[in-house]
Amino acid sequence: MIIFAAIYFLLRDLKAARIKPLINNLFATLSGVILILIIGCESTIELDQKASGQAFYPLTTGEYREYKIQEIKYTILNPPDTINYFLKEQVGDSFINQTGGLTYTLSRFKRNDDIISWEIDSVWTVIKSETKVVVSENNIPFTKLVFPVSDQKRWDGNAFNTMEEELYTYEDVYQPFSLNDMDFNSTLKVIQEYNPDSIVMKDQRSEIYAENVGLIYKESIILHYCTENECLGKQIIEQGIDFKQELIGYGYE
């Protein structure tokens, strides 16, 4: 870098002296080369896990998280149907993907009671890079997080699937959060959608992540209201779901 700087200033002096028109062209060319080299050097610097926000999604084989789930399903013909169960997610093996990076499996287990054995429900996959985390949920990839993190940063959560653009937003970055007698010193919230409309359709979806833990809370409320003349504005739900996922334990095994 010192050599580049010396060349730069030498050529600048030569240019100022107007020795030859050729020097002008050489000056411009080498200046551009030096700028590219500087940018290239900066781009190879690895981001600190905490400063970049990558610690909000740890990914090591054997890590697990357990949640309690409540789903309330609505239909216009029947009373709300409430389902409670437990979910366990565990990071499995990794394999080299088409881009040369690592793809991790995320095994998901369910049970209705905490005294019975876990049963496999599904297997998702996770790709984590220096710039993002992409989780494939039942073969549909969603960009869950992007790095570095910052308040009000936005990105398209559907960038790698065929759905319409959906802008996710960070809120409350590096803020403390308490849940089920657990205190987390540093968390962030991802607003996936916030449409509180109570006339036609309510759509409120968000996730909260904690440093060195991962996902600790998820909420998804999607309600379609009756829009006929006799029921418009009365908040009569034709169909929908109210889903809550809360962390109750985590560790390594």
What pLDDT does residue 187 have? Answer: 98
pLDDT over 90 for what percent of the chain?
Answer: 72
pLDDT tens column, 74-95: 999 999 999 999 999 999 999 9
Q: Does the model's pTM come out above 0.75?
A: yes
pLDDT tens column, 207-243: 999 999 999 999 999 999 999 988 898 889 999 999 9
Least confidently predicted of 37-46, 136-145, 221-230: 37-46
Q: Where are the domains of the chain?
A: 2-43, 49-252
Residue 191, token pair as written in the block: 């607003």
Residue 87, token pair as written in the block: 């979910």
Residue 50, token pair as written in the block: 């905490």
Residue 154, token pair as written in the block: 């936005």
At residue 55, the 3 state secondary structure works out as helix
H runs (alpha helix) in the chain: 2-17, 21-43, 49-52
Backbone angles phi, psi at 46, to 5 degrees: -75, 135
User: Are 143 and 160 contacting, i.e. CB atoms less than 8 angstroms apart?
Assistant: yes
Cis, peptide link before residue 148, omega less than 30° from 0 = yes
